[in-house]
Amino acid sequence: MVSSKITPVFSLIAFAAIHSLTASLPFKRFVMKAAGPRAEKLYLPAYSLLSLLTILPLAYQLYKNPGRVLYKIPSPWRWLMVGGQLIAGILAPLAFRDAPHRFKIGSQLSGPQVSEAGSLKIRGVYRWVRDPFLLSGVAMIWLTPFMTVNLLIVYLLTTIYFYLGSLHWETRLVAQFGDEYREYRKRVHRIIPGLRGSFKESDQSPVNIHG
C-alpha cells in the first residue's frame, strides 16, 4: 500500500526536523540563555534521549510494515554484516570520547581566535576519518543483512540526510576552529578511512593558533 510507504517517510521527516532544530546553534543559544551554565552538562544526554524517542515511531512503523522483501543475505555472510554493524556502532561513542571539546555548547558558539573555541586536538578515530558519525550511520544501515522496499526508501533518504548533516557539521567546525580545521580537512577524508592518509598527533603544531 502507498500509505505504508508514505507514513515512514513522514516519520523520518519529523525526526530529521526535530533532530536538526535541537542541533542548531540558535536553539543552543536559546537553551544556554534560558538554562544557564548547567545546560552544558545536560544538553548532550537530553539531546541523545530525544533523538532516541523520536526515532522509535519510525522503527515501529518499519517493524509493522516492512514492505516487500528485496533480498536476504544467507549465512555466513549475514553474520559478517552484523559484525560490521557492531563495529560501526562502536565508532559513535569513540568519536565522543576522542573529541569531547567539539560538542561543548560554549565552544560551538565561539569562533576561531576566541579562547573558548580551543584547538582541534586530532586524536583517536579522527586521525583516520573526519566524520566517524557519518561512517558509523551509513555502515550500520547498509550492512543490514536483509532489505525491504520500505527499508530501502528510508535508508536512501537517511543517507542523504546524514550526508547533508555532515556538510553542515563541517561548516560549523570550520567556524569553530578556522584554518586549523581547513588544514586537517586536506589530510583526512570525510568518510573513507585512510583514503587520503592518516593524521598523527605529531603532525599537529604545538603552537596555539589562538594566541
Domain boundaries of the chain, sorted by first residue: 2-203
Which candidate, 2, 1, 8, 11, places its Cα nearest to that of 153? Answer: 8
DSSP state of 124: G
| β-pair type (146-148, 69-72) | antiparallel
The one-letter amino acid at 128? W
Which set of grid coordinates corresponds to residue 169?
557539521
Chain mean pLDDT for the chain:
84
If you search the block for the grid coordinates 554493524, which residue do you land on? Answer: 85
pLDDT at 107: 74
Kindly indicate the confidence band of residue 128, based on its pLDDT and cuts at 50, 70 and 90: very high
Which candidate, 78, 103, 119, places its Cα nearest to that of 209? Answer: 119
Task: Say which residue, 39 or 62, is predicted with more confidence.
Answer: 62
**Single pTM value for the model:** 0.81
Percent of the chain with pLDDT over 70: 85
Mean pLDDT for 32-47 is: 84
Mean pLDDT for 196-208 is: 53
Peptide bond into 76 cis (omega under 30): yes
Which set of grid coordinates corresponds to residue 149?
522496499
Res 57 pLDDT > 80: yes
If you search the block for the grid coordinates 562502536, which residue do you land on? Answer: 90
φ and ψ at residue 71, rounded to 5 degrees: -165, 160
